Each structure stands twice: as structure tokens, then as C-alpha cells.
Structure 1
């Protein structure tokens, strides 16, 4: 619980100051943390500590892995559809001590090396006046998953080892299953946001693949998402994963830079990492009004969640605030 106090409370308070809000202003509160599930829940802890309103809609998301923050945004969007003139806050973190594996199974020890401490707070609103202060407008959200497939479902699985220690076992097919989940998400998202010519080229390549001989090495056409998306925030599960996702999307080094630099500076902070990547782009002054940002969250299950945002106002002064304040000038590095 001390890590919650140290990480999440300051993030929430900083968010309120930056957005000129008070706790009673919040109508919807969503807190996500995969492995730490206290009673009362994390969201209830916030309601109690900050004296939030009796009618607040508060939710706690657990067990959703690195995709949880993006999933929480999608959840908040759907809640706001039925709650007009409202403000929602999403708080994301991963409390590390509860996920520590003390055993000797190699495939379960990997998790101990993957994650670092971090947290983020995001405020979204459907109030009309929010357009005057908001940085981004949420254009698209898309969730896909492969929990129906046993190979995918058990590729990252919480279980006991032979000594009775509990940990998450990572299977060798994890990257393969993650790739399949990503491809299904890309296909659906592409049909929603890509220009007509890209849809045709992709559709023709699917048809060719189906008609080709099984032994054929015909490659699928990779849609040019850069024709509609200017910036990409990718999963920071490791350099090989970033490179593989970048390959799947036909991205260049500059497109993968936010993910690679975030991984180098902060490590893999699970669901929070997507926002550290966005916080990297802003002080670099790369996000311009009208630009679109694609945040791609991938987690155990496996599942994939895409968020597409549009910058709706010029951004300035971001180098003086945020997690990169003291180090942004040192990046990018060669990796």
C-alpha cells in the first residue's frame, strides 16, 4: 500500500492542479492495476481519501496487463456516452512487490526483470467547454482479443510452480500470439481509418494470399498507416517487441523512437508506458494541431487495444513539465 501512496496519490493531485479541478468535480473514476487488488478497492481508496461525491461512478480494473490503461480509456468513453456533461479520470499503475516471483522456474523469473515503477493520470470529458483546454480529441477506440484460443490464453498465465510459489509463466509462443492479436486489430482499425486506396490494396493482398498455393511465400500488403497517423506510441515490452511491432506496421526508426527512448529512460512501466511516450513527443514539439496519435496497448489474454487521438490545439511549454523535464535534451540515443 505504501507504493500506492508514493506513486498514485501525487499523480492524481498533480493532475487536478494541471486541469484546475477538485475531487468533487470528478464524475467517473477508473483505476487500473493488474496484480494488486486490495479490499476496499483502489478506486474506493481514492474516493475515501479525497472525499469524492457519493454519486461518483468508480471502477477498479485488474488482471488486464499492459493494455489496461488503453482499455480504461475505452471504458471511460463508453461510460461518458450515457453520462453527459461529465468528467472522467483514469489512473494507471503497476504495483511491483505483489507480482514478485520468489521461485526458481526460469519462465516465471522473467517477469521479475520486465517491469519498473510508474503511474499516469488522464482526464477526459464530454463537457462542451473542455474543447477550450483539452489537448486531444479521442477519435477511435478498438479492442480485439484471442482469449478464445488456448494457445493465446495460456501464453502468459498466472499459476503455481512445483514449490507452491505463484508467478506468471511466459510461454515461447507469446510473441507469435501477440502478433496474431495485433494483426487482427490492425485489420479492423484499418477498415475504419485508412483511405480507400489503402483498403483496396490490403483487400487484394488478402485475396491473393487465400488463392495462392499453401507453399507460396506471398507476403501480405502492409497498409500505410502513416498516411493517416503521424505519431505512434507502441508497447514497451522490450526492444525486440518494439522492433517486431514496428515491422508489422512498416514503421521507421523515428516512428519507434518514443517507445525505444521510453524503454531506455523509464523501463517497461506496463500500462503507464503509453503516456510516457506521448509525454516524450510533446516536449520535442513534434505533435502539431491536427496531427493524429495512435496508442497501441497489448496485454495478456492476449488482447490489443488501439486509441486514436487528434491534437486539437497547439502545444507549448511541455518541456517544462512532465516526466521528461530533466532529461529530454539527452534524447534520442542510438539503440
Structure 2
């Protein structure tokens, strides 16, 4: 497609140059020189391809595993019966197994949230995943030009990115950023930010470290809408290495095809659907409103409407457009649904938000996906829980471990977070990927999935 566009531009500018020649009475040599010059300007203005060289996902230590029964038993010592009953119900409906992880601070009775415990969790999740990423890619910390660290709920001073720079002795001129408050969309958002940074930084290497620090997020109060967070979020982290260097293509796994970022923070209903605040007793927590699923649907719809107009084949666009016209002009009061475009005509794999089984099913319904399309998200939720923004990378790791990612296929990462916001990232696999079942977070469990 890009080659076709370039060819059309070249022909167009050649015709323009020919017209100039006819008016200026220049010779053919000048025509060739002018056309080549214009063509080189076009090539120079094109952004460099962006490659996902490799990534790593944290496998938390086994001592951090927390079966549902143990989790509930711990809470009996410091929470009231009504709160325990509610959290038991949420856990049983969550789609999580007994093998998910929480940090050491939350294993105490009652949980600890002091600063030193929180910093210890930062070290436990970010240091190993960064070290593993460097080992995979055979790079040193000083090779990194851009560093982006995302975590929604913990914003220390010095920042998380400064902690990494200090620990690993990175360069003094590194471009470092810390992203907070973006929820489950943050890691996809960081890829979008990296793409924009690369527009003015050629031949660069960027690392994105994505996590959620849970030690600060425990809610000890009694509000049911705030207790949900205690049950759903689990320990995890991912490190992603991205490059716009030409030579990176030789060893990269994927090339970035498309990013699209939309949000609905202007809408009060959506803005307050997931909101950090104090309860009546002064305890801080995140309130999840009952309209969260509806808000997620509206946020997703606005994103995929734009995305579909850019990536779907012409026939799908026509079918979608006709169904809207029919709904508005012919059957305004009818219950006929608007046609759901077939994204599977251009996308092979889907990495969806693991915010809960109900959310995954709702998104799958909105995109007209089958069980196999939602498998990576559902199995990641079961094995690791909702790890916030890093979950997308555990899903991609699942697909790779199952050896389903072939050269030429496209994977769609869909990040949705508080705000609310939605970020779509589309990758194209550019080389065969095999042997991932023997390493990574799924190494000891991939044979047990999908669940029977």
C-alpha cells in the first residue's frame, strides 16, 4: 500500500514537473533531476518504520501466589462480614484462578502500605523485567535512548523512570518519562507516545516498562463499589523494546502498523465511571460505577468507528454505512442492529483488556468475536488476573507460546483505561516466531490452556 502511494505521488510530481518544463522550455535532463529531487524529498519526509524488537513479561515468585480461600481468610481478621461476603462473590465471578499473585505487602494481616513496602514492590516488578529484556535483546542500559515507565497509582519522587535510570546507570542524555493515572490503557498509550517521540528522534531505541503497584491500592473500607479493586487487580509487569533503526528489522518480531487514541473525558458520565476518591470514613479507593460496562462500550465504539474507516476493506465500510442509513432513515423505531464490521477480515489476533470476564465478553460481543478470538484475554485473566496495562503483553505471549503468530499476521492490542480512554495498537509479525513456549510467563502452564 505504501509503495502504491509513493508511486502515485511520483507520477503526480513528474507530471507537475513536465508542465513546468513545457512552460519554462527546459530540457529532459532538468526534468529527470527535478523529479528525482522531489521523489527524494517524499522519501525523506516519510517516518521511519517502528519495530517491536522483543518484550518480557514478569513471572512473579511463587511465594506471592494467593488462592481465593487464603485471600478471603486473611481479610476475616480485619474486615466486616458484609465486605467479606461481597468480595467472595466478586472473586468467584471474576474468572481468575487460584494461581494469581499479589505483592508481599498485601500478604500481611492487615496489609501494609508504607512507603518502604511500596518501593520494594517497585524493585521486585520492574528490575527483573528490565534485566530480562536487556538479556533477550543483548543490549546494555546505556544503549537505550528513550525510557517510558507507566504506573497509575504510585507516583514517587524521584519518579519511577528516575529509579530505573539510577539503578541501571543509564546515560545522562536519555529521554525519560513517567506516565501516571492512565489505568489499563497506559502501556498501549506509551507505544503511541513512543511513536510520536520517534518522529523527532531518528535511529533510536526506546524501552517501555509497564506495571501497576498494588501495595498502595488496597482499600480497607466498606463501600462495595470500592472493594472491587481489591479483588481484580493482580501483580505483573512488562518490558517492551522498540526501535526505529533500520538494522532493527533484522531481529525484530513485529512492525508497528497503526495507533489510534481516543477519549471521552469530556463526558461526566464516563469521567466518573472509574474515579479515585475518599469514602465517608476517609479511606481512599477507586469507585467503579454500575455504568462502567456501558461507558466502556461507548468508548470502544468511538475508537473502532475511526479505526474501521482507516483499515477495513471497502465492502465492510459499505455494509456498515448502509446499515446506519437504514437505521436512521428507514427503520428509526425498529430494533434492527447496526451492522458490526468484520474486523477479522484484516486482524488475525486480538489482545483485549482483562478488566474482568464480563468486560471481555462485552467487548467481544461489540466486535462480533468468537470464543477463540477472546481466548488469549480470558486465559490471561484466569492465570494471572487483571495486571492492568501489562496484561496485553501476557496475551501476546500466550499467542506466541501457542505458536499461533505467523509471519504476516496482524495483532490488535486494545487498551482501555480510566478517563475513559481507548488506544488501539496494530502490529504486523515480520518473522517466524517459535520456541516461546519454553520461556516467558507461560512456560510452566501453557499446556493446560485453553481450559477444557
The answer, yes or no, to whether TM exceeds 0.5 is yes
TM-score bracket for this pair, using the shorter chain length:
over 0.9
Partner of 1:323: 441
- RMSD (Å) for aligned C-alpha atoms: 0.8
Matches within 5 A, 1:116-155: 116-155=234-273
Name the CA distance, whole Å, in 2 between partners of 1:13 and 1:232.
Answer: 28
Partner of 1:167: 285
1:284 aligns with 2:385: no
Aligned-pair distance for 1:299? Answer: 0.5
1:44 aligns with 2:162: yes
The TM-score, its normalising length taken from structure 2, stands at: 0.73
Partner of 1:12: 130
Match of 1:184 among 293, 299, 302: 302
Name the CA distance, whole Å, in 2 between partners of 1:158 and 1:36.
Answer: 13
Match of 1:91 among 200, 209, 231: 209
Name the CA distance, whole Å, in 1 between partners of 2:423 and 2:324.
Answer: 23
Name the CA distance, whole Å, in 1 between partners of 2:403 and 2:195.
Answer: 27
Partner of 2:228: 110
Partner of 1:241: 359
Conserved 8 A contact 1:32-1:62: yes
Aligned-pair distance for 1:205? Answer: 1.4
- 1:63-117 per-residue CA deviation (whole Å, 9 max, x = no partner) reads 0000000000110111011100000000000000111111111111111111000
Gaps of 5+ in 1: none
Name the CA distance, whole Å, in 2 between partners of 1:44 and 1:206.
Answer: 50
Aligned-pair distance for 1:214? Answer: 4.5
Match of 2:149 among 24, 31, 35: 31
Dislocated runs of 4+, deviation >6 Å: none
Name the CA distance, whole Å, in 1 between partners of 2:172 and 2:424.
Answer: 32
Partner of 2:311: 193
SS in 2 for 1:229: coil
Partner of 1:209: 327
Name the CA distance, whole Å, in 2 between partners of 1:171 and 1:278.
Answer: 30
Name the CA distance, whole Å, in 1 between partners of 2:410 and 2:123.
Answer: 34
SS in 2 for 1:97: coil
Looking at secondary structure, tell me which structure has more helix per residue: 2
Name the CA distance, whole Å, in 2 between partners of 1:272 and 1:23.
Answer: 21
The TM-score, its normalising length taken from structure 1, stands at: 0.98
Name the CA distance, whole Å, in 2 between partners of 1:209 and 1:112.
Answer: 42
Name the CA distance, whole Å, in 1 between partners of 2:375 and 2:245.
Answer: 34
Aligned-pair distance for 1:209? Answer: 2.1
Partner of 1:310: 428
Give the aligned length. 334
Name the CA distance, whole Å, in 1 between partners of 2:327 and 2:245.
Answer: 47
Conserved 8 A contact 1:35-1:94: yes
1:224 aligns with 2:224: no
- 1:179-229 per-residue CA deviation (whole Å, 9 max, x = no partner) reads 000011110110111011111111111222222454321211000000010
Match of 2:190 among 72, 80, 94: 72
